């Protein structure tokens, strides 16, 4: 009794802390439930099929292979390298739920860094999920983090030294998949994911590869196509073709001395032409106002607009915002145009993909029409 009396306040504080922990813990754990994907007929593998030690870890992820009746080129598309860049993930999902491949093979990883989908970046106040209206009703998707979950890879070093280049980046970048390539079989989880993707590229003899991203509005490389030198001519033609359709992309060469990125290391190590595409995510960056899941979908935000009027951001930001369907449409039109141009110069090694939603269709009909 006297013990209770003496420690009552402490016990109450401890009990409150435990209750909050349990309540919040359940909320955090709910992020581990994957948002459903309903792909068209295809073969489903795991990334660990290309690198066994990844099996059973948070880094393992679904790999979907769409194979045409005719032989042709093998193309890899990565969505969800950064789980807080939803246009990349949703573009991959909308492809998977609509396409049919006639020639060649299309390999899609909609959640390249699966662990990144299971948490949010601290201090950003981001939502855990957002909703898209489809013909069947509302469908939910996770809004995750740029990084591998600290639960799966911790602690960060003070400084991340990229291997083998020796390049130094801040410690948290050790959990950034798009700084991890070529990866390492003995490295941390993110480096193992990077290594497994390199193995996939190698074992599947990929001819052309894409990595779909978004960027903050103040970031100079935005609404852009970043191309390894092996893909630069192809990317230049894509940008010019899209320009004629009033879909504007900036063309950026992959920096030769910036290591760990897909568009640098995949090309250097495997001789594959690589293209990375960036759209503009109004919830990334530092200028946006109050955080709601709606900003992700509508792309509307008053402080982004104010920043745009003051010339602080790098894209044209209209009062109607930059909605998700527009950002996804940009990615899909970039992919479709690249396939067309590739096919015109690779008659014996084509990639023919039917039913990719066109730019104008997606803008007119909305994104939900192309999601099951």
Partner 1 sequence: MNAELLVLIAMMALFAIAVFIGKYPIGISLALASIAGALLSGFGVPFRHLVEGSISYLDPILIIVTAMIFMEIIKETGALGETSRLIVRYFHAYPFLFLTAITFFIMIPGMLTGLSTASVLTTGAVVAPALIAYGIPKVKTGSIIAMAALYGMIAPPINVPAMIIGGGVDMPFIGFELPLLFATVPLALFTTYFIARPHVSRGVRSEVLEKISALTQDIHRARLFLPVLVLVLLMSLSRLIPNDLTSLGLPLIFVISSLAAFRSGRDFNYWKVAQSAIKKAMPVMGILVGIGMFIQILSLSGVRGFLIVNIVQIPSYWIYVAIAVSLPLFGAISSYGASYVLGVPFLLALLGRNEIIVASAITLIASLGDMMPPTALAGIFSAQVVDEPNYFRILKVCIPYIVITAFYGVMMIIGANWFAKYLIV
Write out the E strands in the chain. 43-46, 62-67, 70-78, 100-109, 129-134, 137-142, 159-161, 168-170, 208-215, 224-227, 250-253, 274-280, 352-354
* Shortest reach from residue 119's CB to partner 1, in Å: 8
* Shortest reach from residue 315's CB to partner 1, in Å: 13
d(CA 348, CA 71): 9
- Residue number with CB closer to partner 1 (161 or 245): 161
- Residue number with CB closer to partner 1 (168 or 205): 168
* Shortest reach from residue 313's CB to partner 1, in Å: 9
- Residue number with CB closer to partner 1 (151 or 248): 151
- Residue number with CB closer to partner 1 (74 or 223): 223
d(CA 120, CA 271): 35
* Shortest reach from residue 285's CB to partner 1, in Å: 8
* Shortest reach from residue 21's CB to partner 1, in Å: 8
Helix-helix angle 324-345:86-96, to 10 degrees? 60
- Residue number with CB closer to partner 1 (28 or 236): 28
d(CA 33, CA 366): 26
* Radius of gyration in angstroms for the set of CA atoms belonging to the chain, rounded to a whole number: 21
* Shortest reach from residue 18's CB to partner 1, in Å: 13
Residues 6+ apart with CB under 8 A from 306: 287
* Shortest reach from residue 242's CB to partner 1, in Å: 23
- Residue number with CB closer to partner 1 (11 or 29): 29
Where does this chain bind partner 1 (CB under 8 A)? 20-21, 23-24, 27-28, 120, 122-125, 128, 155-159, 161, 167-173, 186, 218-221, 257-259, 286-291, 301, 303-304, 306-307, 310, 312
- Residue number with CB closer to partner 1 (126 or 350): 126
Residue found under tokens 């130094």: 168
334: number of Cβ within 10 Å? 25
d(CA 88, CA 82): 8
Question: Is the Cβ–Cβ distance between 271 and 207 less than 8 Å?
Answer: no
- Residue number with CB closer to partner 1 (191 or 207): 191
Nearest to 337 by CA among 229, 224, 226, 243: 243
d(CA 301, CA 309): 13
The gap between the terminal CA atoms of the chain, to the nearest Å, is 62
* Shortest reach from residue 22's CB to partner 1, in Å: 11
């Amino acid at each position: 009794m006297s013990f209770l009396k003496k420690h009552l306040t402490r016990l109450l504080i401890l009990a409150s802390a435990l209750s909050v922990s349990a309540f919040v813990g359940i909320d955090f754990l709910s992020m581990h439930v994957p948002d459903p994907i309903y792909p068209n007929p295809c073969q489903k593998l795991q990334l660990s099929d290309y690198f066994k030690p990844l099996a059973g870890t948070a880094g393992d992820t679904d790999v979907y292979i769409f194979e045409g009746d005719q032989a042709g080129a093998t193309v890899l598309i990565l969505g969800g390298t950064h789980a807080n860049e939803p246009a990349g993930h949703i573009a991959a999902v909308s492809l998977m739920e609509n396409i049919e491949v006639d020639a060649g093979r299309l390999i899609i990883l909609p959640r390249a860094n699966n662990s990144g989908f299971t948490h949010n970046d601290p201090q950003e106040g981001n939502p855990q999920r957002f909703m898209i209206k489809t013909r069947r009703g509302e469908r939910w998707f996770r809004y995750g983090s740029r990084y591998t979950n600290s639960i799966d890879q911790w602690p960060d070093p003070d400084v991340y030294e990229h291997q083998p280049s020796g390049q130094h980046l801040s410690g948290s970048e050790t959990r950034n998949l798009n700084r991890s390539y070529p990866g390492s079989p003995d490295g941390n989880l993110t480096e193992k994911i990077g290594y497994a993707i390199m193995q996939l590229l190698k074992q599947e003899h990929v001819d052309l590869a894409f990595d779909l991203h978004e960027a903050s509005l103040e970031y100079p490389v935005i609404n852009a196509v970043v191309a390894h030198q092996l893909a630069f001519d192809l990317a230049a033609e894509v940008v010019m073709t899209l320009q004629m359709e009033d879909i504007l992309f900036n063309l950026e060469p992959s920096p030769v001395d910036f290591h760990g990125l897909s568009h640098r290391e995949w090309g250097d190590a495997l001789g594959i032409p690589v293209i990375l595409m960036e759209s503009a995510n109004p919830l990334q960056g530092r200028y946006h106002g109050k955080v709601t899941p709606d900003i992700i979908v509508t792309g509307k935000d008053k402080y982004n607009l104010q920043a745009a009027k003051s010339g602080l951001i790098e894209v044209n930001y209209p009062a109607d915002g930059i909605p998700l369907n527009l950002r996804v449409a940009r990615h899909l039109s970039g992919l479709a145009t690249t396939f067309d141009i590739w096919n015109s110069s690779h008659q014996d090694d084509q990639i023919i993909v039917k039913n990719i939603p066109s730019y104008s269709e997606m803008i007119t009909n909305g994104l939900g029409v192309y999601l099951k």
